[in-house]
Structure 1
Amino acid sequence: MILIADSGASKTDWRVINQKGEIGQHKGIGFNPNYQTAEEMSNELQDDFLLNLRDKVETIYYYGAGCGSQKNRLQVTNALKSIFKSAEINVDHDLMAAARATCGYQPGIACILGTGSNSCDYDGEVIIAKRPAPGYILGDEGGGAYIGRKFLQDFIYEEMPEKLREKVIDKFQLDNQIIIENVYQRPFPGRYMASFCRFITEHISDPYCYMLYYNSFQDFFKKHVMKYKDYKKKPVNFVGSIAFHNSDILRSAAYDAGIHVNLIIEGPIAGLTLYHQELL
């Protein structure tokens, strides 16, 4: 029996596949070893769905935020070992999840456009190149935090259309001080900035909102996709809510940049399930 996990900071999607190919699914709490110890994660794993499987699972494939370093992968492994004592455990980062979910066993470029952004060049088996991912202050081009930051900058400097600015004030009771407090004094500023993307998408018929996405996607292509060798000859795939809910703009921006977009999916768990089913 195989257990697959796709974990972010807020939730984890679990899939279990038995020898007959039958699939079970579950949503649980999210994990991030950057902010949690192995003991804390182990305590959170005390979930009835997982506890009922602890003697049946032979192999675990866990993909998660914060799993880029060996130290963090070991933390997650130790947490899982506390429940699944006899299982073979494989821990990898969310970029590999995006690659396997969208490319499968074929070469391609895999990209993440959610709250943040990331990308890699994948040869069908391993990641052969990737770009830096310096986070919401120095990077995250095309991601929700990046788009939201530009939106809030334009609000503060009064550089967005006045009618749209009035709608923002009316909906969020927003002013410059509230923005400053949320960005500089409260936790998860990236998540806060990204939260405005829903409003931007709801007003996508406004040329300002459309171009905010379009230009941000172009920034992502320049900093990420265009840096890979032969990028125009490879299928480029996307995972993440920003890509998924604004796919028409993303495809238009990609076409103008000479980039062939293949798949755009909201989350990787379904693709990961198909990928690992072939291993049974």
Structure 2
Amino acid sequence: MILIADGGSTKADWIALDNSKNEAFRVRTLGLNPAVVAAEELHNRIINMFQLIHIKEEVAEIHFYGAGCGTPKPVEILRKVLQAIFVNAKICIAEDTLAAVYAATGKEPAIVCILGTGSNSCYFNGENMEMLVPSLGYILMDEASGNHFGKKLIIDYYYKKMPKKIAAQFEKEFNLDADYIKQNLYRETNPNMYLASFAKFMFDYKEDKYIKKIIKKGFQEFFKCRILPYNKTSETPVYFIGSIAFYFRDILEKVANKYDLKITDVIQRPIDNLLAYHKKNIN
């Protein structure tokens, strides 16, 4: 049996294939980002999913694509966790950007971007990914991501830059007590996922002038930092993966047009496209 997983910081989608490459089942666990989640918690999030544990000795291969898997140390942490559970499996771990490439463009050259809980980009030349810099995560990078916008909303609320009408709704939906926020940011697991939970507020108020402004500014920052430095022409396909890109595609396309770029497609969840790629290309 083969497991294919697309693991973000908020959630991880798993698909199991039988020996004939037919889909056996699919499940979703909590996010499995080894850069921010401790090994013990990673282990618990997997073993708490009955469907995965039920077949753990039957799994021969795992293809895991995950947030936080762009540098060696987190990859090794996750590898040890997976190997301890799926004892008979050959384990392949790559960063989520590669899953985005496979899901979006397959084997054709393109710029491929992620805008979800976190953010990233790469240029895929048809064979290899070219990345501007390694991602340093939610504190220093992740422009225009869910956690980026979550931080912006909290900051604007506390500095009273948020319009009163929006602030009143914000107060109704979230616990904005300072001690509660600090507890979640500095003491709890997955602070990036916690910050991204605030970004969901923008979906309900996407027509508001204030919300549109901060989204546009975030997207502009992403283009300047993560797309324009590749110096590709307007003929280069540009793909986006993730809920932030999906729900705010209209604003994203306007920003792209400003830089004389055209978005080829926006994919909310890459797992189905990733499955199709594996069925076609993995022996």
Report TM bin, short chain.
Answer: 0.7 to 0.9
Once the two structures are TM-superposed, the CA of residue 273 in structure 1 deviates from its matched residue by 0.2
Rate the CA distance shift 1:129–1:193 in 2: closer, same or farther, 3 A.
closer
Which stretches in structure 2 are left out of the alignment for 5+ residues?
A: none
Once the two structures are TM-superposed, the CA of residue 209 in structure 1 deviates from its matched residue by 1.1
Q: Which amino acid aligns with 2:13?
A: D
Q: Name the SS for the 2:74 alignment partner.
A: helix
What do the CA deviations read for 1:194-238 (whole angstroms, capped 9, x no partner)? 323222221122211111111111110011100113153311111
The residue aligned with 2:245 is 243
Rate the CA distance shift 1:193–1:179 in 2: closer, same or farther, 3 A.
farther
The residue aligned with 1:258 is 260
Runs of 4 or more consecutive aligned structure 1 residues displaced over 6 Å after TM superposition: none
Q: Name the SS for the 1:130 alignment partner.
A: coil
Once the two structures are TM-superposed, the CA of residue 178 in structure 1 deviates from its matched residue by 5.9
The residue aligned with 1:69 is 71
Q: Kindly tell me the number of residue pairs found equivalent between the two proteins.
A: 278
Range with greater deviation from structure 2 (50-59 or 251-260)? 50-59
Per the normalisation by structure 1, the TM-score is 0.86
The residue aligned with 1:123 is 125
Q: Distance in 1 between matches of 2:27 and 2:193?
A: 24
Rate the CA distance shift 1:184–1:63 in 2: closer, same or farther, 3 A.
closer
The residue aligned with 1:233 is 235
Match of 1:114 among 110, 113, 116: 116
Rate the CA distance shift 1:79–1:232 in 2: closer, same or farther, 3 A.
same
Per the normalisation by structure 2, the TM-score is 0.85
The residue aligned with 1:268 is 270
Q: Name the SS for the 1:66 alignment partner.
A: coil
Q: Distance in 2 between matches of 1:200 and 1:206?
A: 9
- Identity %, equivalent residues: 37
Cα contact 1:121–1:128 (8 A) shared by 2 = yes
Rate the CA distance shift 1:164–1:70 in 2: closer, same or farther, 3 A.
closer
The residue aligned with 2:103 is 101
Q: Name the SS for the 2:213 alignment partner.
A: helix
The residue aligned with 2:220 is 218
Q: Which amino acid aligns with 2:11?
A: K
What do the CA deviations read for 1:216-274 (whole angstroms, capped 9, x no partner)? 11110011100113153311111112111111211222122212212212222112101
Rate the CA distance shift 1:276–1:44 in 2: closer, same or farther, 3 A.
same
Cα contact 1:131–1:224 (8 A) shared by 2 = no
The residue aligned with 1:90 is 92
Does structure 1 residue 18 correspond to structure 2 residue 15? no
The residue aligned with 1:28 is 29
Once the two structures are TM-superposed, the CA of residue 91 in structure 1 deviates from its matched residue by 0.9
Q: Distance in 2 between matches of 1:225 and 1:184?
A: 29
Cα contact 2:9–2:192 (8 A) shared by 1 = no
Cα contact 2:9–2:117 (8 A) shared by 1 = no
Q: Name the SS for the 2:131 alignment partner.
A: strand
Q: Distance in 1 between matches of 2:55 and 2:173?
A: 46
Cα contact 2:8–2:117 (8 A) shared by 1 = no
